[in-house]
């Protein structure tokens, strides 16, 4: 019995040694730490790089979080739970077999036509996992070929759009009747042969320069792929643990828009915490919502704070006073048939559907929220008055002027939310009211679920936000801007409402440290959901 076990161990060791000797004979192998690769110098411009996504670019050593994202975002919580329960079994399988099992669980039955995770969800999580040292290696080459054990539909958009990779080689998933079957085309050796063909093709194109390989030591399959490379650089797991994350300022393409409900990186441990929290989160969210809907401000604010919701109010408005008005303000407001507490226009950036509620809580009084494309459920359950705009400038302007005679209004001129530190273009409609404008800078932070979506059900947005263990909101009231005369610093307008809108956008951007852009709601929805972001109910009214 012992002799048989010893013979098998010796045979396995002999095969592994023979494979490594064969690999070393086929290429000029260099084992070098990844952070510098100084030996390449500036001579890489004529070389072609072939690299392994999981082994040579990402800091993590497992693909499980990315398949969990697919299971949760494209499937359901039940599908994600099934994948989590199978994780101990996946750890016992080989790398290729584990990928096949995770692909089956995550993709089986998912509609092909509606699958946009590769473009809308995955890039954000991949970019956060890219190692700075590995990214610097990629920047040394003009032509880059990437191979991955994950399905191509998960990685191709990220690699081509955000890293500029020319060739992506990944596994394909069988489709039937417009749905993914979860079965990957071909065997592992067939996929490796495809990568090898690409490497050999680029080796011929590069001529004497050859192809440089870059991957991880744990990728045994890379031995065959890198056999035609002129030089190979392998990085160990110990080296990858020392890698620094890629800074946002170093992104080749800014990550402005992304979709999905899951805010955290669903590693096995975090996924376990998510599913343990899920049964508690729904009743907690309902309790928070009931408190906000039924109770007055002075009661529901401390109650929801006891339930874990954190809010902060910052006043940077030298003219702001909750109780009194200056004589000049009273004179101007009387001339406009207004009083101290009516007719104010609050202009804010758009974080979530709850923006007007937090502004109302910060002011200590009800405001009127102007909306574009929100669900009827959100309008019915809103504790404050909401008015749906029609996207007709003249009609909307008259409607807002009428509302100003009733009280304060809150306007989100971006028209949609943006999760990253960017401000979209401000619509100048609020400036055409020729009123004193109070800019409000908002920030929100969640740890588990995003309270916004471009392709999901918008009626669930508030629920997902309230399901977070401790959602944070900051309301920062800035100096007023007079849309008719100028700001309090003496700035005058050139009879342009767009100038007023851009000025307010810049002021809010400076307060938040956000970058101002000219992107619009239409740009966001065309990228994330392949539509222009207009809810069907709105188009019917028009």
User: Which tokens is 478 given?
Assistant: 């800035």
For residue 312, the model assigns a pLDDT of 87
Whether the pLDDT of residue 68 is over 70: the answer is yes
Domain ranges of the chain: 21-250, 268-541
Report which DSSP code applies to 425. P
Where on the phi/psi map is residue 375: left (φ > 0), alpha (ψ -120 to 50), or beta?
Answer: beta
pLDDT in tens, 204-222: 665 555 788 888 876 544 5
Q: How far apart are CA 172 and CA 186, in angstroms?
A: 8
Under CATH, to which class is 268-541 assigned? Answer: alpha beta
Higher pLDDT, 378 or 504: 504
Q: What is the mean pLDDT of residues 392-403?
A: 89
Residue 435 and residue 337 in contact, taking contact as beta carbons nearer than 8 Å? no
Residue 354 and residue 446 in contact, taking contact as beta carbons nearer than 8 Å? no
- Under DSSP, is residue 308 helix (H, G, I), strand (E, B) or coil? coil
Work out the mean pLDDT of the chain and round it to a whole number. Answer: 82
Whether the pLDDT of residue 43 is over 60: the answer is no
Alpha helices by DSSP H, 71-121: 77-85, 87-92, 95-107, 117-120
For residue 46, the model assigns a pLDDT of 61
pLDDT in tens, 458-469: 889 999 999 999
- Sign (positive or negative) of CA dihedral 323, 328, 332, 334: positive
Report which DSSP code applies to 6. H
Q: How far apart are CA 347 and CA 356, in angstroms?
A: 10
For residue 471, the model assigns a pLDDT of 96
Residue 226 and residue 88 in contact, taking contact as beta carbons nearer than 8 Å? no
pLDDT in tens, 145-193: 898 889 999 999 999 999 999 888 888 999 999 999 999 986 555 555 6
pLDDT in tens, 260-274: 999 999 999 999 999
Look-up of token digits 């309902």: 286
C-alpha torsion angle, residues 377, 349, 281, 115 (rounded to 10): 80
Report which DSSP code applies to 346. E
Report which DSSP code applies to 226. G
pLDDT in tens, 503-517: 999 999 999 999 999
Q: How far apart are CA 227 and CA 232, in angstroms?
A: 9
Residue 448 and residue 264 in contact, taking contact as beta carbons nearer than 8 Å? yes
Under CATH, to which class is 21-250 assigned? Answer: alpha beta
For residue 25, the model assigns a pLDDT of 38
């Amino acid at each position: 019995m012992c002799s048989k076990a010893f013979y098998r161990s010796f045979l396995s060791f002999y095969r592994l040694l023979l494979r490594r000797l064969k690999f070393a004979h086929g290429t000029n192998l260099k084992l070098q730490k990844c952070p510098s690769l100084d030996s390449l110098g500036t001579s890489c411009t004529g070389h072609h790089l072939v690299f392994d996504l999981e082994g040579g670019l990402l800091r993590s050593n497992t693909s499980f979080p990315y398949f969990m994202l697919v299971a949760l975002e494209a499937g359901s919580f039940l599908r994600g739970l099934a994948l989590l329960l199978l994780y101990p079994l996946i750890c016992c399988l080989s790398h290729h077999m584990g990928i096949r099992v995770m692909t089956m669980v995550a993709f089986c039955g998912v509609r092909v036509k509606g699958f946009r995770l590769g473009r809308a969800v995955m890039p954000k999580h991949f970019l956060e996992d890219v190692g700075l040292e590995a990214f610097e290696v990629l920047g040394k080459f003009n032509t880059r070929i990437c191979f991955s054990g994950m399905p191509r539909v998960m990685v191709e958009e990220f690699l081509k759009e955000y890293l500029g990779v020319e060739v992506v080689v990944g596994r394909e998933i069988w489709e039937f009747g417009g749905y993914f079957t979860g079965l990957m085309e071909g065997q592992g050796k067939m996929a490796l042969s495809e990568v090898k063909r690409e490497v050999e093709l680029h080796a011929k194109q590069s001529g004497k320069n050859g192809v440089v390989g870059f991957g991880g030591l744990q990728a045994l399959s890379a031995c065959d792929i890198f056999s035609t490379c002129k030089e190979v650089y392998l990085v160990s797991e110990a080296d990858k643990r020392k890698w620094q994350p890629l800074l946002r300022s170093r992104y080749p393409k800014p990550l402005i828009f992304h979709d999905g409900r899951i805010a955290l990186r669903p590693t096995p441990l975090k996924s376990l915490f998510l599913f343990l929290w899920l049964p508690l989160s729904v009743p907690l969210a309902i309790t928070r919502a009931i408190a906000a809907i039924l109770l007055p401000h002075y009661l529901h604010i401390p109650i929801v704070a006891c339930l874990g919701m954190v809010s902060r109010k910052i006043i940077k408005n030298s003219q702001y006073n909750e109780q009194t008005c200056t004589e000049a303000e009273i004179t101007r407001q009387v001339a406009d048939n207004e009083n101290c507490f009516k007719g104010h226009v609050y202009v804010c950036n758009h974080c979530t559907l709850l923006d007007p509620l937090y502004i109302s809580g910060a002011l200590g009084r009800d405001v009127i929220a102007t909306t574009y494309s929100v669900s009827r459920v959100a309008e019915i359950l809103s504790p404050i008055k909401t008015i749906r705009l029609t996207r007709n400038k003249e009609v909307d302007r008259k409607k807002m002027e009428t509302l100003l005679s009733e009280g304060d209004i809150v306007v989100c001129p971006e028209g949609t939310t943006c999760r990253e530190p960017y401000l979209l273009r401000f619509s100048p409609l609020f400036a055409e009211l020729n009123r004193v404008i109070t800019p409000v800078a908002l920030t929100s932070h969640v740890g588990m679920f995003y309270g916004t979506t471009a392709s999901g059900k918008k009626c669930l947005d508030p629920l997902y936000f309230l399901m977070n263990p401790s959602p944070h909101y900051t309301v920062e009231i800035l100096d007023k801007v007079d849309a008719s005369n100028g700001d309090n610093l003496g700035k005058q307008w050139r009879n342009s409402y767009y100038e007023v809108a851009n000025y307010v956008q810049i002021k809010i951007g400076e307060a938040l440290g956000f970058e101002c852009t000219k992107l619009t709601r239409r740009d966001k929805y065309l990228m994330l959901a392949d539509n222009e972001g207009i809810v069907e109910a709105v188009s019917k009214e028009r």
